[in-house]
Structure 1
Amino acid sequence: MRSFEELLDDPTCNLAVDDQGSEVALVAFGGLKGRLAIAPFEFFGLTRGMPVTKVFIRDPAQAWYVDGVPELGPDLRAAALGLRRVVDDLCGRAVLFGSSAGGFAAVAAALVGRFEEVHAFGAQVSMRREDRAAMNDARWRPRARALYDAARSDTLLDLRPLLDASDGSTRVELHVSDDDLDLAHADLAAGRPGVTVHRHPGGGHTFVRQLRVDGTLERIVRDSLGLPAAL
């Protein structure tokens, strides 16, 4: 059986689980290219040595998870419910993380799966063509074009209806830097049930790397999981 680290390094692996028998799990959604702005093993290295169950999820279609994850479900909503079942079998409680496209999926999964807490870094809030045009968001054009070509009438492209339908019991922690487009996306969600927007200075869209270096990311992860501060 391959180790969790080996599964993280395998780009064909869409679901990797490291069951440590803990009361809480750390779930991370990879973004485009299967990363979290930093390498997955770096992210999970923040809890190395800690008895915390870890789950890493990749988007095989590289399309904001709208086509789901084969091991969890055929679309984003179904995958969120599939993740809920996986977590219930493991421990019952999980904190979700993701950056950029992975942050979009993490927030959607947290709301659909009724998880308690999610941290999204530089996440897109809406991938609707009209919203992206209004904010002049022309990033990832080939990927976005493929997303629209494959979209159906029920494709989940906008997180706001999920947020508005929430009772606020899911803590949606949106982390943004000084990137204008990331701020514009966060503004779409600000003030909606359960949403808190955290501003971090500098770093641009990939500011998670900076948070990793200065220790902020580790503090966020440890606090959310109820782990003691690093010595």
Structure 2
Amino acid sequence: MPTFEELLADPACSLAVDDQGSDLALVAFGGLKGKLAIPPFEFFGLTRNLPVTKIFIRDQAQAWYVDGVPELGPDLRSAAQGARELVDSLARDAVLFGTSAGGFAAMAVGVMGGFQTVHAFGAQVSMRRKVRAEMGDRRWMPRARALWRSEQPDKVLDVRPLLDASDGHTSVNVHVANDELDIAHAALIEGRPGVTVHRHPKGGHSFVRRLRVDGSLERLVRDSLGLEPAP
């Protein structure tokens, strides 16, 4: 059987699980190209030596998880339920992380699956064509057009209705830096129940790399999981 690290490094892998029998699990959703702004093994390396269950989920279709995850469900809604069932088989609850498109998925799955806490970095809040046009968001247009052409019924393209329906049950932490489009997306949900927007000074859309280097990301991950600070 491949190790967790080998599965992380395999671009064809949609789901990797490292069961450590912990009370809380760490779940991370890869963005476009299957990454977390930093390589997945670097992200999970923050807790490599700690007894924390880790789950990595990758979107092979590169379409904001609209087509789900093979091991969890054929669309985002069913994948959220599949993620809930997977976590329930391993731990009491989970803290979800994701960057960019992975942040969109982390928020959607976190709310639909009734998870405790989400941290989304530089995430898209809405992939609706009209909303993106209004804010001038033309990033990843070939991928976005494929998303809009998808015949998947009842597609999840906007996390706002999900947040409104949840009434703040999930703590959604949206992290942004000095990227105008990321800030515009965060503004769509700022002030909603359960949502907190955290502003970081530098780094643009890929500011997670800076957080990794200066130690902020490790502190955030450890604190979210109730772990002691690094020595």
The corresponding residue for 2:53 is: 53
Contact 2:75/2:152 (8 A) holds in 1: no
Q: Describe the SS at the equivalent of 2:223.
A: helix
> Mind listing any 5+ residue stretches in structure 1 that lack a counterpart?
none
- 2:30 matched residue in structure 1: 30
Q: Secondary structure at the match of 1:47?
A: coil
- Output the CA distance in 2 between the equivalents of 1:129 and 1:201: 29
Amino acid at match of 2:107: V
* Other-structure match for 2:177: 177
> Alpha-carbon deviations, 1:155-178, whole Å to 9, x = none?
100000001111212100000001
CA contact (8 A) 2:68 2:75 kept: yes
Residues 2-32 of structure 1: CA deviation (Å, up to 9, x unaligned): 1100000001110000000111100000000
Counterpart of 1:24 in structure 2: which amino acid? L
Partner of 1:165 in structure 2? 165
Deviation at 1:152, TM superposition (A): 4.4
Deviations 1:108-136 (A, max 9, x none): 00000000100000000000000000000
Paired residues in the alignment total: 231
**CA deviation map 1:167-193 (0-9, x unaligned):** 212100000001000000000010111
Q: Does 1:113 align with 2:81?
A: no
Give, in whole Å, the separation in 1 of the partners of 2:183 and 2:217.
19
- Alpha-carbon RMSD across the aligned residues, in angstroms, is 0.7
Shift of 1:92: 2.1
Cα distance in 2 for partners of 1:57, 1:205 equals 21
- Tell me the equivalent position of 2:82: 82
User: Distance in 2 between the 1:91 and 1:148 partners?
Assistant: 35
Q: Distance in 2 between matches of 1:151 and 1:61?
A: 14
Note the C-alpha offset of 1:48: 1.4
Structure 1 counterpart of 2:189: 189
The aligned counterpart of 1:15 is: 15
Deviations 1:89-122 (A, max 9, x none): 0012100000000000000000000001000000
Percent of aligned pairs sharing the same letter: 72
- Can you list the C-alpha shifts for 1:196-225, whole angstroms capped at 9, x where unaligned? 000000100000000000111001100000
Structure 1 residue runs of 4+, over 2 Å off? none
